[in-house]
Amino acid sequence: MKRIKWSTGVLSVGLFIGSFIMLVPFLVMISTALKSSAEVNSPVFYFLPKVWHFDNFAKAMASGNWGRYMFNSFFVTIVVTTFSLFFNSIAGYAFARLEFRFKNILFMSVMLGLMLPAQVTMVPVFLIMKYIPFAGGNNWAGMGGTGWINTYPGLMVNQMAGAFGIFLCRQFYLNFPRPLDEAAELDGCSIWKTYFQIYLPMSGPLLASLGVIKLTTVWNDYVWPLVITNSENMRTAQLALTMFKNEVVQWELLMAATVVVIMPLILLFIFAQKFFIKGLASSGIKG
């Protein structure tokens, strides 16, 4: 009994320290967002502002076309997440429940995507987007125009499926007994009907957890929008934060805008954390 209490105490202390380390930068960000420029640049650091400048949020949002930036982020994130859940789940279903030629080879090829950093494929993907035939003024050979640069498809298409999502869905669908497919086949269900009427309705927790992961990834993405866009109208919220980093960084406005940008993710995790944890647990990682 003493050993259990001792180990529990150590775990509790470790959890507290880890939570504190992760929480402090967030609290400093909020504190900085509420300070004046003089307080931020003062050599003496005060955790709490002397005067609470809530008008920093209004100033930050008035510094650019933030309605457009937030719309771009919301639109890209929602569309990418929706298509990603569909493509990942249906690919995972095929690898787990169907038998076809070269299935294992194809699955291993998909898994190679987990080993490649995004930076390795960024230039090839950019060239593909630029030379898409009949897009952005391109001819049939993909020449003469800009392709999908500065477009929503350019921001979204390459993120609509991923090796991790396919792998997680495959592991989830492997947990179901094989007689379930046989019973569906005896009832006259096609492959598509089996997926949409049997497996997809049972995939709620899994898709919720994948959705949270994908939403967070796409919303926080900075590098790809920076590479594929140079138009202000196509700028996402994460990319717009760089407006405050000029010769003199306006830290109070930058932190105020950052609080606004990350608030949707905080609300998402608060309301979806139960489904997120349940979905990861139900994936049943096994061979």
Range of weakest confidence among 3-7, 136-140, 254-258? 3-7
Give Dmax (Cα) for the chain: 76
Residue 260: what pLDDT?
93
What confidence score (pLDDT) does residue 285 get?
44
Look at residue 234 and tell me whether its pLDDT is greater than 90: yes
- Provide the number of structural domains found in the chain: 1
Task: Enter the pTM of the model.
Answer: 0.86
Q: How much is the pLDDT for 116?
A: 84
* pLDDT at position 3: 54
38 part of a folded domain: no
Q: Average pLDDT for residues 5-15, to the nearest whole number? A: 81
Q: Which one has a higher pLDDT value, 93 or 7?
A: 93
**Angle, alpha carbons 21-27-28 (nearest 5°):** 95
Average pLDDT over residues 263-277: 79
pLDDT at residue 118, rounded to an integer: 82
**Highest mean pLDDT range out of 86-90, 185-189, 204-208, 272-276?**
86-90
The CATH number covering residue 128 comes to 1.10.3720.10
**pLDDT, position 287:** 38
3 state DSSP class of 249? strand
Instruction: Report the helix count and the strand count for the chain, using DSSP H and E.
Output: 14, 0
Does the residue 55 lie in any domain?
no
Domain presence at residue 1: no
> What percentage of residues in the chain have a pLDDT greater than 70?
94
Domain that holds residue 257: 63-282
Position 10 scores a pLDDT of 82
- The confidence band for 247, taking pLDDT boundaries of 50, 70 and 90, is low
- Residue 261's closest CA among 250, 272, 253, 249? 253
Tell me the C-alpha distance between 235 and 255, whole Å: 19
Q: Given a cut of 80, is residue 284 above it in pLDDT?
A: no
Q: Establish if 168 belongs to a structural domain.
A: yes
On whether residue 199 sits in a domain, the answer given is yes
Would you say residue 23 lies in a domain? no
Res. 67: pLDDT tops 50: yes
pLDDT digits (tens, 9 = 90+) for 153-210: 999 999 998 899 999 999 999 988 888 888 888 888 888 999 999 999 888 888 988 9
Give residue 125's pLDDT.
93
Q: What is the mean pLDDT of the chain?
A: 88
Residue 57 resides in a domain: no
Find out whether 252 and 37 touch, Cβ atoms under 8 Å.
yes
∠ Cα 236 242 248 (to 5°): 160
Over residues 102-153, the pLDDT tens digits come to: 999 999 998 888 888 888 889 999 999 999 998 888 888 888 888 999 999 9
- Domain membership of residue 126 (yes or no) is yes
Confidence of residue 1 (pLDDT cuts 50, 70, 90): very low
